[in-house]
Amino acid sequence: MIDDDRKLCRLIQTYLEPMGFAVTSAHTGPEGLERARTETFDAIILDGMLPGLDGFEVLKELRKVRETPLLMLTARGDEADRIVGLELGADDYLPKTFSTRELLARLRAITRRRARVDDTPNAEIAAGPLRIDLDARVALLDGVPLALTPVEFDFLAVLARAPGRIRTRDQLLEEIRDRNYEVFDRSVDVHISALRRKLNDDPKQPRFIQTVRSAGYMLRRQEG
């Protein structure tokens, strides 16, 4: 947990440890970034407002080297801040007025995405020059690994399992979250936009991900 509120860190640690989490804390942006880069964690809870280096900068730098599932906390609750965090690679977002039960639910959800064993018989999906290894959770474009966040990978995998078929926003969210998991619809568009950038995909003339107006998204069928 990277947060300068030491009292909150102790509260979260006290709550999460009986639930099976081992919790460690850092209290400045530079300290948190260094530990997140050099140590291995199953998940990171990151505050948006930090001394030395704010949480958004920490996230931006961290995503250059690590794809650890990450839950962003911030006192600023407007949609613009949520979108910025998601565009930088956060897997989920929680305003600081959260309940501990909600924090636990969201934390379990983002860690399950990484740990979940895929039930698709074919562990690799091919879509033209795009190869998706479901077991290794790696996507390659023309043989080059893509730096995808866990949620971006999951969205891509959902679309790739059914090429040529439309997936609504609700269906995409249903595939990667618990049924009662509260999210906002715009998050899907943000993650799809990030996926397109990493695929070098032009939304006006898509090679891979096509928007179907008033319906959702689909992965275009590929030759080969």
- Mind listing the pLDDT tens digit for each residue in 30-44? 999 999 998 888 899
Predicted confidence at residue 78, as pLDDT, reads: 65
Residue 218 CB contacts under 8 Å (≥ 6 apart), including other chains: 159, 162, 163, 164, 165, 166, 167, 209, 210, 212
Mark the ranges of the chain whose per-residue pLDDT is less than 50.
116-121, 178-183
pLDDT for 223 equals 65
Per-residue pLDDT, 142:
92
pLDDT in tens, 174-183: 777 643 334 4
Q: Domains of the chain, with CATH numbers?
A: 6-115 (3.40.50.2300), 124-219 (1.10.10.10)
Q: What is the pLDDT of residue 178?
A: 47
The confidence score (pLDDT) of residue 77 equals 59
Distance CA 55, CA 59 (A): 6
Does this model's pTM top 0.75? My answer is no
CA distances from 17 to 69, 70, 93 (A): 18, 18, 21
CA 162-132-38 angle, to 5 degrees, is 135
Counting every residue written for the chain, the total comes to 224
Predicted local distance difference test score (pLDDT) of residue 117: 37
49 CB-contact burial (10 Å; exposed 0-12 / middle 13-18 / buried 19+)? middle
Instruction: List C-alpha distances in Å: 105 to 75, 108, 114, 121, 154.
Output: 19, 5, 15, 29, 18
Q: Phi and psi dihedrals of 113, rounded to 5?
A: -60, -40
